[in-house]
Amino acid sequence: MSVNKEIKKVTTHTLQRMKQHGEKISMITAYDFSFAKIFDAAGIDVILVGDSASNVMAGHETTLPITLDQMIYHAASAIRGVNRCLVVVDMPFGSYQSNSKEALVSAFRIMKETGAHAIKLEGGEEVLESVKRIIAAGVPVMGHLGLTPQSIYKFGTYNVRAKEEAEADKLRKDAKLLEEAGCFAIVLEKIPATLAKEVSESLHIPTIGIGAGKFCDGQVLVMHDMLGINTEFKPRFLRQYLNLNELATNSVKQYINDVKSNDFPSEHEQY
Ligand code: KIV
């Protein structure tokens, strides 16, 4: 029997047990009640209320503009659709980088105002003091290394990270520091599969990959990408499971025709 099927509610400890049993962790983003409800009922292990909401929900080019209040709105909506899975909320850009006190206050707001189970923040050594302080206050923290979109203007591109040895070495060290600080999992974004394998094998806590290959302990995808809502984004790591954009477009076209031709509503669709 899989660890996942035995349990009524997924916790951070469930994820650790899944790693120990070699059972992969499934994670997907969601930003609202309805989709969170579908994904939870489908059996997903973790929902990430990602700051990718800035891109896919608000239409911004980067994740930088989304505010803490907006993240709290999305997370509080998503959590109302969930019975079983673990819900992790991204701390948005500017809500934790200044100092560890500000980070703690932001984490408290997320936990108190959304009912979520954990937070995620980007970075390693630079944010370690904040990570330790948040965990000491009882809030589970997921790390995020590799391509960290909140630093896009520092990197300059969304290309694969840590291909050079110096950056790979920093990532190895950051992963260890985050584990020692008490993080329950780490997202590895867009790094070579060999490095993700090495890091995953060196840690006791699970790694969740996006564009980091098959040896991570779990995988995460942005729902708009994997459901084909956003069809312009086609990176090599993405598997698109549905073309919801086409289905929705055709359905709305049909509805428009039905309204214009007076076919809708019929006698059975009125009172
Ligand atoms: O915001 C997000 O969706 C993320 C995932 C890409 C891991 O951080």
DSSP secondary structure, 19-87, as one string: HHTTPPEEEEE--SHHHHHHHHHHT-SEEEE-TTHHHHTT--SSSTT--HHHHHHHHHHHHTT-SSSEE
Residues 6+ apart with CB under 8 A from 90: 48, 49, 50, 51, 52, 71, 119, 120, 121
pLDDT (tens digit, 9 = 90+) per residue, 104-152? Answer: 999 999 999 999 999 999 999 999 999 999 999 999 999 999 999 999 9
Extract the tokens encoding 265.
């509503």
- The gap between the terminal CA atoms of the chain, to the nearest Å, is 51
Compute, in angstroms, the gap from residue 211 CA to the centroid of ligand 1.
11
Q: How far is 75 from 147, CA to CA, in rounded Å?
A: 23
CA dihedral in degrees (86, 93, 29, 12; nearest 10)? -20
Extract the tokens encoding 123.
């970075």
State yes or no: pLDDT of 1 exceeds 90: no
pLDDT at 18 (0 to 100) = 98
Ligand 1 contact via 220 beta carbon (within 6 Å): yes
- State which ligand 1 atom lies nearest to the alpha carbon of 63: 1
Do 196 and 207 touch, CB atoms closer than 8 A? yes
Compute, in angstroms, the gap from residue 207 CA to the centroid of ligand 1.
14
pLDDT (tens digit, 9 = 90+) per residue, 40-93? Answer: 999 999 999 999 999 999 999 999 999 999 999 999 999 999 999 999 999 999
- Nearest one of 216, 234, 217 to 225, comparing CA atoms: 234
What residue type is assigned to position 210 of the chain? I
State the pLDDT confidence band at 209, using cuts at 50, 70 and 90. very high
- State which ligand 1 atom lies nearest to the alpha carbon of 189: 7
Compute, in angstroms, the gap from residue 183 CA to the centroid of ligand 1.
17
Prediction pTM value: 0.97
Extract the tokens encoding 210.
């996006």
Residues 6+ apart with CB under 8 A from 165: none
- State which ligand 1 atom lies nearest to the alpha carbon of 149: 8
- Nearest one of 94, 103, 195, 81 to 147, comparing CA atoms: 195
pLDDT at 7 (0 to 100) = 74
Out of 25, 28, 29, mutate this one to test ligand 1's pocket (max ligand atoms within 8 Å of CB): namely 29
Tell me the catalytic residues. 189
What does the mean pLDDT of the chain come to?
97
Ligand 1 contact via 122 beta carbon (within 6 Å): no
Average pLDDT over residues 7-22: 96
pLDDT at 4 (0 to 100) = 67
Average pLDDT over residues 150-165: 95
Do the bridges between strand 86-90 and strand 46-49 make them parallel or antiparallel, or are there none, so unpaired? parallel
Compute, in angstroms, the gap from residue 42 CA to the centroid of ligand 1.
20
